[in-house]
Structure 1
Amino acid sequence: MRINLLGPLQAYGDDHRVDLAPAAQKVRQTLALLVLNAGRVVRFEQLMDELWDADPPTSAHTALQTYVYQLRKRFSLGNPRSGGAVRAAGPLLGTVDGGYQLTLPADHVDVFRCEPLLARARAEFRDEDFARARETAAAALQLWRDDALVDVRKGPALQAEAVRLKELRISAHHLRIEADLHLGRHHEVLGELTSMAGREPTNEWAQRNLMTALYRMDRRVEALQVYQRARERIATELGLDPSPELRALHTAMLMSDEELLRPAGRLTAVTAATRAPCHLPAPRERLTGRADQLARITAVLADRARADRPLVIVGGAPGTGKSELCLHAAHQVSAHYPDGRLYARLRDGAGRRVRPAEILRSFLRGLGATEEQLRLGTTDLSLLFRSWTADLRVLVVLDDVCDVRDLTPLLPSGGGCGVVIGSRRRLFVSSSAVHVELAGLPFDDCLHLLASSVPSHRTTMDPEGLRRLAGLCRGLPGALFAVASQLRRRPHWTARQATAWVLASGGADSDPLGVRAGFDRTLATLPAESRSLAYALLSPGVPDRLTPALAAAALGISDQQAEDLLEELSESYLLRAQHPCVNGRFSYEWEPGIRPFAARQSNTPVMCSA
């Protein structure tokens, strides 16, 4: 089985002369999404969102099974059922827990052949082996027959992938032209650059390289005319001046700088060949009820009049939507950070700490570091990152932050850079940092979020049932979206059935609303003794309102130890201190959703930090 996605969809079985690509669009969509995620489980809800967006029919699950059956039959794909991931040497389409998994050798998909070629071309370019870089990039481009997935209907997932692949193609094309210019092939690329500059008059990369090619061919006047046309179009269409790089090139040509006749040095070459990195994931959901917080964050990050580096810390209890807010804000201000948008989570899915060196290597690789530079230790990697960002405008988004010490090596040094931090604890980073703390959503926003997420679901016909359902989610966007996702998968449910499902989630070892997982990830950052004591405080016999004396009696520890524990849980957004204090000591209450959804009903082990 071989699949080509870089152009019209092609699918071949044992006979490579016969194209077996299905004609039905939803079957084509299903095949494309499974192929692009080969080796990974594609969950049922992902497939349904792709095929029907937010409005699946009642028969969606049956229809999806039919599409998968057609693919198995058409390509003779086996179906080894198991409770975990499918592992086999040949192509298989397995039903696994919660979804489907296609196993297919990487070299049987043109996308997966293209990406390593382009990565190799970039490495060869960084090593100044321009001849090999040119040939490797050209080999990657030969795999393209047209725009990726050009004849496949696209839902949200495939549309995002098509955009990514388009950027990949542009990157390969740019790199090949850059290599040609370094090899002195100005005549060969002049036609391409002239056409590209004409189609995209505000594309400074095309204008800059066309100017360079003309200048090296002793056509200085024409090169200067290209600059004048570009400057006028940029001013007219964008209301901006040309970038400092384009202006500097124009000045160098006016001064007949002989350096322009020679290929650029290593740093210039890497910068030219590497597109500004954008590591930001796409937000998973739309924002509701966070307009004021979003406006405050974007105003800080977009304020170029600030003398210092803008730094925003977003905190809140598990499930309040910290990560989504950070991503929405970062995407909105991305135009203010043209040199790159970097993203990292400082804790993995099990709550374990991710080493700073691993994150720094990801950042520096995106900015064009060589493999030799990436072998440096943490201290040197941090110094290199600070040096490179001193004169850049880069946005750094750091999520799942729990300790200020983890931040220090990861912060950019330039005043033009910006930082957004999603924090599981209250942090003090600097006196100029802007703090945004999230509470639960107001009830009206909860109701709107839930109703608008499933506008045609039968639960919307029961206003009282819908209000009770929204109330059970305790103002937590994460819980509301989990309920909406379940309703999309169960279009036949009534509000009563959905309510019973939410109530049952508070007493099961499963975690359908995701609140317990967030609670566990936060607790995983605390010492083991604090974790076990925190779970003991969630026991049915312990009151909802806690004081140091009550906690000490329930846990068998001293009042001071109990107060220290309660303060630590308050710092972690798990408890909320209540005012006024009595006898110099505060009382505390669990944050919304913690008590009903995070308490363990079994002896399931708690994750350990690392």
Structure 2
Amino acid sequence: MRVNLLGPLQAYGDDHCVDLAPAAQKVRQTLALLVLNTGRVVRFEQLMDELWDGDPPASAHTALQTYVYQLRKRFSLGNPRSGGAVRAAGPLLGTVDGGYQLSVPADHVDVFRCEPLVARARAEFRDEDFARARDTAAAALRLWRDDALVDVRKGPALRVEAVRLKELRTSAHHLRIEADLNLGRHHEVLGELTSMAGREPTDEWAQRNLMTALYRLNRRAEALQVYQRARTRIAADLGLDPSPELQALQTAVLTSDERLLRPTGRSTAMTADTRAPCHLPAPRERLTGRADELVRVTAVLAGRTGTDRPVVIVGGAPGTGKSELCLHAAHQVSCHYPDGRLYARLRDGVDRPVRPAETLRSFLRGLGATEEQLRLGTTDLSLLFRSWTADRRVLVVLDDVCDLRELTPLLPSGSGCGVLIASRRRLFVSSSAVHVELAGLPFEDCLHLLGSAVPSHRTTRDPAGLRRLAGLCQGLPGALFAVAAQLRRRPHWTARQAAAWVLASGSADNDPLGIRAGFDRTLAMLPAASRGPAYTLLSPGIPDRLTPALVAASLGIGDQQAEDLLEELSESYLLRARRPCANGRFSYEWEPGIRRFAARQSEGSVMCSA
């Protein structure tokens, strides 16, 4: 018997998944409460209080016996008091001392695997072993699939447990971020901290760590702005002044206290002899429909194509899964790069470029550079990075690349080093670079991805509805995974409700799929002279198939200017060139999803740029 409670309830028997339908909520409640009290007696009164919220009917005891009987039957649970045959090694659900007692091994419940990990991470953090504390906290967080008990009805006891488990998750998250800060990974957590500080403007932990990260990234003015916003909100919402700790941090930032630049503990003692850094995030989803591309990328990076200094550039429209493909490939070839696997996203949490110096400091800190070396300027940092990588085998993974100029200082020099780039634009890095371009997934792969991501959801039993959902996602893995995540959170939804939610991405002011934001960021990266015309071409009256002559007439510009605009949009993976027309010029089509997910912004953006 295995039970997972850190997310939607999952229950497994000896060798099979036990389907506890959402309609059987009291059975699910009973199971959750017994599991969370494994090894302890849960009294009848406590169970009835949980199931009927303090107002049990006259038949409550009989109903409770029925729920327990169902659990015993579905999970083959023995009862030591039944007098029947009981498996000595199996889980037991006994009737004891006016209640029930469930016995399940601790490692068969995700909650009981998570709690020791968080306790160990705390101990490692106290010992200033930040690298291990970070890894342990991250391992604890990987057990979470959503909020604890998210799809279980909660009475008094389970409400308390849900709050406790939420605090456990928050504690693990805080430990992981603080360990990252102490390891010098400031720009890697900046996006998380910015988001947390925005959601919780009076949470001094988030404000304090955001200020520290910004200061270490040489953004002192922004760190002080964070303090001012926090002070204003704390006064308005709570009627208080900031804590002495937050005030002291503001003073340290104002006076440029050098102690703020130095993480404490064992991380500052790292040298080139420490273990090879691995900065690669874990892939978020299983890879579907990209087997050929994955084989091609890994073959180049693993040296099977005979290429020295392998460079692979993965490009494609927003939402096509560039980052996920790169992460899967990087993890597969890690063994070929024993001296380090470095990762950086070249846009921060609010989509501003991360300065090359910040990325280089992160790389070099992981490779053992001293604090004095890390104070060098961009040119010297780049030279130091090239020198360090000249005779080593290091893989550098660069995500969200838009401009060759921001990329050049970050390239390693050694012939045994590999570079993997996820790019929003077509880039020329070297004549030997391998380009892999991602289009939308074939429809059958979309169906498989969506169905396998939520195999037990009611929408999978509606083939027509599932096909409609897959079609609305325009072949974009990002949209498909967003739909799957929503269905996991809402197992009661029908295909019609899910389809309405997807359609809201094309009509509402919010961005439920998270896809429009990607398109808008790419459009915003265009040169100023191209941005307004691009939004105009997304207007409903403009055909999907574009030619230079049509664009010239629509925008009132010359044919060559129109062709240059179309090529600019093609380089940004917004348009795809088709076969030449009779006059030798190409026609162009929007990449899948752009008209649906980005056109909503066109009218307002054109007005702003007019």
Aligned AA (2:432): S
**Aligned counterparts of 2:110 and 2:284: Cα–Cα separation in 1:** 23
Maintained 8 Å contact 1:346/1:353: yes
Cα distance in 2 between the residues matched to 1:64 and 1:550: 63
Residues 37-186 of structure 1: pairs in structure 2 closer than 5 A: 50-51=143-144, 58-59=151-152, 67-69=161-163, 84-88=199-203, 119-123=264-268, 125=269
Distance (whole Å) between structure 1 residues aligned to residue 589 and residue 166 of structure 2: 54
Residue in 1 aligned with 2:272? 271
**Aligned residues of 1:26 and 1:67 also touching (Cα < 8 A):** no
What is the CA–CA distance in structure 1 between the aligned matches of 2:567 and 2:539, rounded to whole Å? 19
Alpha-carbon distance between aligned partners in 2 of 1:435 and 1:428, rounded to the nearest angstrom: 9
- Change over 3 Å in CA distance of 1:72–1:365 after alignment to 2: closer
1:304-363 per-residue CA deviation (whole Å, 9 max, x = no partner) reads: 673520111111111110000000000000011010000111222433221111111111
Give the alignment's TM-score, normalised by structure 2. 0.60
Question: How far apart, in 2, do the equivalents of 1:402 and 1:590 lie?
Answer: 19
Residue of structure 1 equivalent to 2:341: 341
**Cα-to-partner distance string for 1:74-121 (whole Å, 9 max, x where unaligned):** 9xx9xxxx9931524699xxxxxxxxxxx99999xxxxxxxx999533
**What is residue 442 of structure 2 aligned with on the other side?**
442
Q: Cα gap change, 1:48/1:547 in structure 2, threshold over 3 Å: closer, same or farther?
A: same
CA 1:407–1:422 in structure 2 vs 1: closer, same or farther (change >3 Å)? same
Amino acid at match of 1:496: R
* CA deviation vs aligned residue, 1:379-409 (integer Å, no higher than 9, x gap): 1111111111001100000111122222211
Task: Please give the TM-score of this superposition, normalised by the length of structure 1.
Answer: 0.60
Match of 1:536 in 2: 536
The one-letter code sitting in structure 2 at the alignment partner of 1:484 is A
Per-residue CA shift, 1:516-563, capped at 9, x if unaligned? 111122123222232222112111111111112222232233322222
The SS at the match of 2:440 is coil
Aligned equivalents of 1:33 and 1:485: distance in 2?
26
Q: Within 5 A, what are the aligned runs for 1:379-458?
A: 379-458=379-458
Q: Distance in 1 between the 2:467 and 2:521 partners?
A: 30
Summarize deviations over 1:255-283 as a string: whole Å, max 9, x none: xxxxxxxxxxxxxxx222x2211111111
Aligned mates of 1:369, 1:379 — CA distance in 2: 16
CA contact (8 A) 2:519 2:597 kept: no
The one-letter code matched in structure 2 to 1:280 is: L
Note if contact 1:90-1:104 (Cα within 8 Å) is conserved in structure 2. no
Alignment of 1:581 onto 2:581: yes
Note closer, same or farther for the CA distance 1:467–1:33 as it changes in structure 2 (3 Å cut).
farther
The match for 1:361 is 361
Partner of 1:292: 292
Change (3 A) 1:399 1:441: same
Identity %: 73
Cα distance in 2 for residues equivalent to 1:316 and 1:572? 8
TM-aligned CA deviation for residue 425 of structure 1: 0.9
Distance in 1, Cα, partners of 2:406 & 2:287 = 29
**C-alpha distance in structure 2 between counterparts of 1:542 and 1:519, whole Å:** 18
* Alpha-carbon spacing, 1:417–1:30, altered in 2? closer, same or farther (3 Å): closer
* Partner secondary structure for residue 553 of structure 1: helix
The 8 Å contact of residues 450 and 484 in structure 1, kept in 2 or not, is answered as yes
Q: CA deviation at 1:581?
A: 2.4
Structure 1 distance, partners of 2:307, 2:280, is 26
Structure 1 residue 52 displacement after superposition: 5.8
* Residue identity in the other structure for 1:477: P
Amino acid at match of 2:265: R
Task: Tell me the matched-pair count.
Answer: 409
- The secondary structure found in structure 1 opposite 2:581 is strand
Cα distance in structure 2, aligned partners of 1:23 and 1:118: 40
Shift of 1:431: 1.2
Residues 118-157 of structure 1 deviation map (CA, whole Å, 9 limit, x = unaligned): 953342x46xxxxxxxxxxxxxxxxxxxxxxxxxxxxxxx
Cα distance in 2 for residues equivalent to 1:384 and 1:374: 10
Contact persistence 1:361–1:374 (CA under 8 A): yes
Rounded to whole Å, the distance in 1 between the matches of 2:342 and 2:141 is: 30
What is the distance in 1 between the residues matched to 2:517 and 2:417? Answer: 33
Give the secondary structure class of the aligned counterpart of 1:532.
helix
* Alignment partners' CA distance in 2, 1:529 and 1:47: 48
Contact 1:57 1:491 in 2 (8 A): no
3-state SS of the aligned residue for 2:312? strand
- Mapped to 1, the partners of 2:205 and 2:412 lie a distance apart of 46
Whole-angstrom CA distance in 2 between matches of 1:73 and 1:402: 39
* Residue deviations 1:143-194 (CA, integer Å, cap 9, x gap): xxxxxxxxxxxxxxxxxxxxxxxxxxxxxxxxxxxxxxxxxxxxxxxxxxxx
| 1:354-380, Cα deviation, whole Å (9 max, x unpaired) | 111111111111100011111111111
Residues 475 and 305 of structure 1: CA distance in aligned 2, closer, same or farther (over 3 Å) = closer
Instruction: Tell me which residue corresponds to 2:484.
Output: 484
Instruction: Tell whether the 8 Å contact from 2:340 to 2:395 is kept in structure 1 after alignment.
Output: yes
Aligned residue runs from structure 1 range 236-315, under 5 A = 270-272=271-273, 274-303=274-303, 306=306, 308-315=308-315
CA gap of 1:50–1:604, structure 2 versus 1, over 3 A, is: farther
Residues 89 and 516 of structure 1, relative CA distance in 2, 3 Å threshold: closer
Distance in 1 (CA, whole Å) between partners of 2:244 and 2:144 is 25
Written as runs of structure 1 = structure 2, the 5 A alignment for 1:468-507 is: 468-507=468-507
Deviation, structure 1 residue 515 = 1.8
* Helix, strand or coil at the partner of 2:422: strand
Q: 1:441 and 1:31, CA in 2 relative to 1: closer, same or farther beyond 3 A? A: same
User: Structure 2: any 5+ residue segments left out of the alignment?
Assistant: 1-35, 39-108, 123-138, 172-196, 207-241, 247-260
Which amino acid is 1:573 matched to? Y
Q: Which amino acid aligns with 1:404?
A: L
Instruction: Verify the 8 A CA contact 2:315 2:426 in the aligned structure 1.
Output: yes
In the alignment, is the contact (CA less than 8 A) between 2:313 and 2:420 conserved in 1? Answer: yes
> What one-letter code is carried by the residue in structure 2 that aligns with 1:422?
A
Structure 1 gap segments, 5+ residues each:
1-21, 38-45, 92-102, 108-115, 127-269
**Which stretch shows the higher mean deviation, 539-548 or 337-346?**
539-548
C-alpha distance in 2 between matches for 1:560 and 1:542: 19
